[in-house]
Structure formats: structure tokens, C-alpha cells
Amino acid sequence: MFKIRLLVTALTLAGSISVATAWDALPTTAPAPADNPTTEEKVELGKMLYHDPRLSSTGTVSCASCHNTMLGGEDNRPNSMGVNGQTGGRSAPTVWNSAFNAVQFWDGRAASLEAQAAGPVTNPIEMGMKDWDAVVATLKTIKGYNQAFAKAFGDNSITKDNATKAIAAYERTLITPNSPYDQFVSGDKAALTEQQIRGMNKIAELGCTSCHSGAAFNGAGAFQQFPVHDNEYFAAQYHFKKDKGLAEVTKKETDEHFWKVPTLRNIALTAPYFHNGSVGTLDEAVKIMAKVQLDKELSKEEIADIVAFLDGLTGQFPKQTMPVLPATSGKTVN
């Protein structure tokens, strides 16, 4: 049975819905919450914090280590590597266009970018800091951060809350509009090839956009069961059911193997695929999705058409300049 759940709160789910296909261009700006309006000072501070490995216990891992803005916004690893070479069981989702996610993380456990930014820093496998008090203490020893926080938030403002707000403000600038698809739906009918248009029509015909809906192709806060249809061959090869997804958070059996619907934006750049990074190519990912979600066998030509369309979702990336991090002269903080 096909199941999709629409997010009401971070962990409260409503019943079955269907989402009509709509072809929307990606907005060029992202909305900010009322308690964290975007400012240039916050964005610059957030960029520094995002790229600073001193927020990790070993001084070697930053947010950018797993969510590389010089590439597709993740790390192209099946499972990201944290402090001391540790790896978890999930693949890093892209940070590009994450501002348009209703929830964050594969299991949707964070309701905002601010809440998401707080998690990896103190995760023992990821960045490994003891707690946020230790993070704040570290930042306060760095003169340049005292100045940057004061510019963004006022005096005496180095706190967990302000640090995560700054990181989130920076992440809200990471938007990739004006893909060939966006140009096409905005009126340039030559922006997509005939093959890409066939692929676009095919995903609508198959029902892919029932889940991957909206301008970001991310379901606007939906959780989807994966896989829907059991397949012994794929289960053995890719271990899709080893991780219980949303149920790991809610502890409810009915939530087992439900996942936040990921964006299809820039998907050509973010291999390997799925929550555990077990599938190495986009062609194979399309084939698997058709089989285990829709119980459809696609021809090689249909797969090629869909992959061609997905290539057309690669947007224009805003220029990224690396920040000069505040220095600690003659000493290390880690």
C-alpha cells in the first residue's frame, strides 16, 4: 500500500494525502523566521562558523567537511566521516536549498535549520564536542569571534542560540535557482532538450511528483515510507531496511522506514544515493525507486530520459568565497 505522511510538527504526522503535480521555479530567496531575520553580519559570522574545524573536539571537522559548498553540498561518501575517522550509518544530505526543507535530517528530527545546526557539533561520531558549553567557551577564547558576534548580535553575545542562528542565516543563502528546468517553466521552452521533456513527463506519469512535489521537489514536509514494495534482491544488496528512519526518533512501530522526502535539486551532483548511500549511480537509483516505490519496471530508454531530466535540475550556484577565520596566535584551542 502506498503511504505518504504530511508533517504537522517535527514529529506529528497526519494521514494519507495526494499532491497534485505543479511545475514551480525555485525562489531566489528563502524565508527567515521572525526571531532570526537574515543580516549580512549574521551571514558572514555563520560562514565562518560553518567552515571552522575548531568547533570539533579534534580541530579537524567542520560543517563543511560533510556539506561541501564547493561541490554538491555534501561529501560524495556513502557515510560521512567525523572525528577520529568515525563514520555513521547515513549519507550526508545536501545543504544546498535546505532552507526550503520543512524539517532537517533524514529522519526529520529537527524542525529548523537552527535546530539542525546544533546537532552535529556535539554528536560523538560527527564533531564530538562534549557539550555546547564547551563550544561557547572555545569561541570566547578567540578574539575575532567576540568581535564578529558583537557585530551580528550585540555585546556579550557568544551563545549556542546565536551561533546556530548565524549558521542557519548563512545556510539560507545557499540557493541554486535558474536551472534549465527553472528556465523552462519560466517560459524558455528551449531550456530543456526533447529527452529531458520526455523525462519530465514520465516522472509525472509515474507519480514521482506525488512525493517529490513543490519547487524544491522535496514534498514540502512529507515523510515517505521507503521501500513501499519489498524486493529481496534490492534488500540484500543495499540493506535499505537496516535503519528504521523516523521510528528511531519516535520509537513508534508505525513510523518504521519512513524518511523525509529529499530534494531532487542538484541530484546529479550528490551520488551516492539514498539514506545509507548504498547506490552509486543515478541510473540505478531511478531503477530502484521505480521498482520499490511504484512497483514499475522501467526500460533503459525511460531511465535515460528521467536521468536526463534530473540533470536539468542542477541550478546556478552562488559564488562562494572562503572566510578568513579568526586566528589564535601562537596556540591551539583544541
Quickly count: other Cβ atoms within 10 Å of residue 131's Cβ: 11
Buried b (16+ CB within 10 A) or exposed e, 170-207: bbbebbbbebbbbbbbeeeeebbeebbbbbbebbeebb
Cell 583544541 belongs to residue: 334
Marked catalytic residue, from 74, 114, 126, 171 = 126
277 contacts 91 by C-beta, under 8 angstroms: yes
**Amino acid at site 250:** T
Q: How many helices (H) and strands (E) does the chain have?
A: 12, 3
- Quote the cell numbers at residue 51: 567552515
User: How far apart are the two ends of the chain, measured CA to CA in Å?
Assistant: 52
Nearest by Cα to 238 from 192, 188, 190, 288? 288
Cβ burial, residue 119 (10 Å; 0-12/13-18/19+): middle
* 3 state DSSP class of 258: strand
Q: Is the dihedral of CA 33, 161, 125, 54 positive or negative?
A: positive
126 is catalytic: yes
Give catalytic residue positions.
126
